[in-house]
Structure 1
Amino acid sequence: MTHSASPQTHTTDAVLLARLERIPVARRLTLIRVVIGSATFFDAYTVLVIAFAMPHLVTEWNLSTAQTGMILSAGYLGQLVGALFFGSIAERIGRRTTLLITILLFVSMDVACLFAWSGTSMMVFRFVQGIGTGGEVPVASAYINEFVGGRKRGRFFLLYEVIFPVGLMFAGVAGYFLLPHFGWRALFVVGLIPALLTVPLRRLMPESPRWLAARGRFDDADAVVTMLEHDAVRHGHTLAEPVVKPVSAQAGKRSDWRELFQGVYLRRTLMLWALWVCVYTVNNGLITWLPTLYKQFFGLPVQTAVYYGWITSAVGVAASVFCALAIDRVGRRRWYTIAFLVAAVPLLALTALGATSATQVVLIAPLAYAALQTVAFSLYLYSAELYPTRLRALGTGFGSAWLRAGSSLGPLLVAWMISGLGIRYVFTAFAVISLLGAAVTAFFALETKNKSLEELAP
């Protein structure tokens, strides 16, 4: 049910949104970020943990190379389905309820993985788990964005989003310490921690007031905004007077996926899809391929190869934190253009040098990865800013589906380039893709800093 288009309705909507825009980041908003961030942390953990369990599973179940590849790919295929499916569900039944469903889904499948008895059973469980994982991140992104005003949205959201690459790193830590002593099942036991969050989740987290208002549930939206106002005042914040701005007559329209390809949103959708593919083709190609490069082409011991791979991940996390703190001042469009251009420099340097030693690669390649990681992890923020409430979860989900496409394309491109042309030209190809990302951003991206979501997307 949508609210009517009467002038009184739009006035009510505008006042609610104006009150929400000027609420500072107080304890309740921080708590929301912590709870969702904790779930996202273990969401990231479950994505990568299978990679560390797989060497043991190959031996225990006598898996072929094809079976191993299918198990590893099953989770990504499930994520693609989840990103498309749950974005639409979140527009219909709400962000909070959808988040509960996705968390319960990937936690229940984590339990199932503990009892997997064959490659086929693990593949099925990982596929279903991927559906929950793929749905949680874009819906959580829409949810977090809808609580915060334009001036502080980037920093608030990205300090939450940085938990995802940290979760990926934690999977490696768990694998290093747990596998030798407790076996592969211990890794999935750690992934059960999100189950502890599902009980307090409903009590501690209100529904998105923007979604409630868009559905015509003004009393419920007012209750959420009032609760946030009281929390801010109770913890010593002074609330500014709300600045009421007109709300578009389209705000009460029903969610319709076809609108993503109409009017102003067509250009935004295609631009975002291009950015998702460019950044994840390069970054996923680098992060998944570099350890193998160190071992197979430069003859480093496995432990050293893994350590060098960790350097790349760690530099990426550090760059992500810096981006979270600075992007509200720099702006999304300028940051992305610079990041893509900066990433091309070390990639071209490796081409010129020939990538002839592990030392060259470990000193230079992480610089490109770090620059692009700031784009990769913040695209959820940018995607959510470019769509209205009725399309936000849906548009973010559709966009992140191209993340999966880029993630699959990167390693395939690496394999093809190495076999056909040689190592140095892999970096050439990645540099070209980075420059393409810079061009798309410079010519087609919209700046969103310091603007309310309603200003950006009517």
Structure 2
Amino acid sequence: MTATLAAGSALGRAASLSRSLDAERSVTLLARLERLPATRPVLWARSVVGMATFFDGYSTLAIAYAMPILAQTWHLTPATTAAIISSGYFGQLFGALFFGWLAERIGRLPVLIMTIALFGIMSVACIFSWDASSLMLFRFLQGIGTGGEVPVASAYVNELSGSRNRGRFFLLYELLFLVGLVFSGMVGYALVPRFGWQAMFIVGVIPVAVVAPLMLTLGESPRWLIGAGRLDRAERQIDRMETSARTHGQPIPPIEVDTVVPVTPATVGSLREMFGRFYGPRTALLWLLWFGAYMINNGLATWLPTLYRTVFHVPVGRAIGLGFAMTGVAACASLICALLIDRVGRRRWYAGALLFAVIPLVTLYAIGAHTAWAVFGLATLAYAAVQTVTYSLYLYSGELYPTRLRSTGAGFGSAWLRLGSMAGPWLIGTIVAGGAIGPVFLAFAGIALLTGLMCWRFAPETAGKSLEQLSP
């Protein structure tokens, strides 16, 4: 009996020692990762994932430039138009929740490959849509892939970056989503009037042929591997990054273990933790930001080309061109955001951008939004300001959750993105059906005001801190 107890005690001590050594090793690995500059493997990973994100942005807005022709060809009512636009966002909601959860369990890369293949295949299906119902179905399935790819990709890129200039590093990647939006406008302007609405979806097939094979050249997120207890694989990844830095003459600072918060290997975050005392307030704030900002911007982006055509009777080419110009201005504003957000800080930038957007939106309501040019000029100012928030929320979400919750948190947050994106077109469709568009802008101004004030009051500042310091 005594021998059995002694043996059990020895096994317990050995297990405890093993856990202690793993914890110490994980801290060292995180410290090695945190000190690294942006190495060639990391930049390559950001580029490949960025290409997928580029086509996600393209697919998200492609329907907006197809709708001016579809609305007339299929004799669509405002309600049916809203349903087609919203079906993609509805699918994205499911994709974000499911694939965000799955990426915590099987890794970032397998999920990215699955989602990229899904939204590419559904782009092919959209080409052969024969009526509103079939297009809604294919857009819904395409949205599942798009909704899953974006939050998982953002978690992956966030986990590759260190605390120094993380905002710039991540947002220059995320800018590719906005470039995809602009490219969607370019394709719509150049091809839709000449070749029809199917041209938007033909171009969307490219990611399956180009991006999916390149994903096989990437390595798994070292932070996810450490959190999953796969320390040998994580060390090989970090060794490869360090070797690349030395080969290309990049300076490698000394390891600073005391700046890293230890993580417990082989743990997966739970929903209870995400809604608990520490992360619960962050979750509520992020959901408000996701819903409010995207309700405004995706409502404007997806509906304005159709409004120019149906309310102001602008020719199809010009209507699409105005939408394209708006996304181009927003992309320039977002580039400025990427270069300055580490210096300004997340909280001040977000609150300032949202409160600024209130001014042109209220002005549009006050003057009655009687001309297409007035709508274009003032709506573009509001859209560009809010776009700097929407496109950087994946950065902020990744900073406010730990690795064990990062993909799930981004997925749940972006589910509110989808709800907001669905609510925006429905709100506009309902108001326009009543014969006026001015109240749309007043409603959006109220949402921007509330969201901006809540951000100013409750948003934590994250610039300049490591992910482990921000979210233990």
TM-score by length of 1: 0.92
Maintained 8 Å contact 2:188/2:320: no
* SS of 1:440 mapped into structure 2: helix
- Measure, in 2, the Cα distance between the counterparts of 1:382 and 1:376: 10
Unaligned stretches of 5+ residues in structure 2? 1-14
Aligned to 1:255: 269
Shift of 1:147: 0.5
1:30-179 aligned at under 5 Å gives the runs 30-54=43-67, 69-179=82-192
2:388 to 374, 379, 394: 374
Identity in percent: 53
Aligned to 1:20: 33
- Measure, in 1, the Cα distance between the counterparts of 2:338 and 2:52: 19
* SS of 1:264 mapped into structure 2: coil
Inter-CA distance 271–219: structure 2 relative to 1 (3 Å threshold): same
2:305 to 291, 310, 314: 291
* SS of 2:268 mapped into structure 1: coil
Inter-CA distance 201–189: structure 2 relative to 1 (3 Å threshold): same
Inter-CA distance 362–50: structure 2 relative to 1 (3 Å threshold): closer
Please state if 1:349 is matched with 2:358.
Answer: no
- Measure, in 2, the Cα distance between the counterparts of 1:67 and 1:420: 15
* SS of 1:390 mapped into structure 2: helix
Shift of 1:148: 0.6
- Measure, in 2, the Cα distance between the counterparts of 1:296 and 1:113: 24
Aligned to 2:232: 219
Aligned to 1:322: 336
Maintained 8 Å contact 2:227/2:264: no
Maintained 8 Å contact 2:364/2:374: yes
- Measure, in 2, the Cα distance between the counterparts of 1:305 and 1:185: 18
- Measure, in 2, the Cα distance between the counterparts of 1:187 and 1:344: 33
Structure 1 stretch 238-247 or stretch 147-156: which is displaced more? Answer: 238-247
Inter-CA distance 119–350: structure 2 relative to 1 (3 Å threshold): closer
Q: Which runs of 4+ in 1 moved over 6 A?
A: 58-66
* SS of 1:403 mapped into structure 2: helix
Please state if 1:406 is matched with 2:420.
Answer: yes
Aligned to 2:351: 337
Unaligned stretches of 5+ residues in structure 1? none
Shift of 1:440: 1.1
TM-score by length of 2: 0.89
* SS of 2:261 mapped into structure 1: coil
- Measure, in 1, the Cα distance between the counterparts of 2:71 and 2:362: 38
Structure 1 stretch 70-79 or stretch 433-442: which is displaced more? Answer: 70-79
Shift of 1:56: 5.6
- Measure, in 2, the Cα distance between the counterparts of 1:325 and 1:285: 27
| Residues 376-431 of structure 1, C-alpha deviations (whole Å, 9 max, x = no match) | 10001101111011100000000001011111222333344556695443332222
For these two proteins, the number of residue pairs brought into alignment is 455
Please state if 1:446 is matched with 2:425.
Answer: no
Maintained 8 Å contact 2:226/2:265: no
- Measure, in 1, the Cα distance between the counterparts of 2:309 and 2:135: 28
Inter-CA distance 175–358: structure 2 relative to 1 (3 Å threshold): closer
Maintained 8 Å contact 2:151/2:414: yes
Maintained 8 Å contact 1:10/1:247: no
- Measure, in 1, the Cα distance between the counterparts of 2:423 and 2:83: 16
- Measure, in 2, the Cα distance between the counterparts of 1:418 and 1:75: 21
2:252 to 239, 246, 249: 239
1:415-454 aligned at under 5 Å gives the runs 415-417=429-431, 422-454=436-468
Shift of 1:143: 0.3
Inter-CA distance 265–419: structure 2 relative to 1 (3 Å threshold): same
| Residues 97-153 of structure 1, C-alpha deviations (whole Å, 9 max, x = no match) | 110111111122223334445544433332222111100000000000001101121
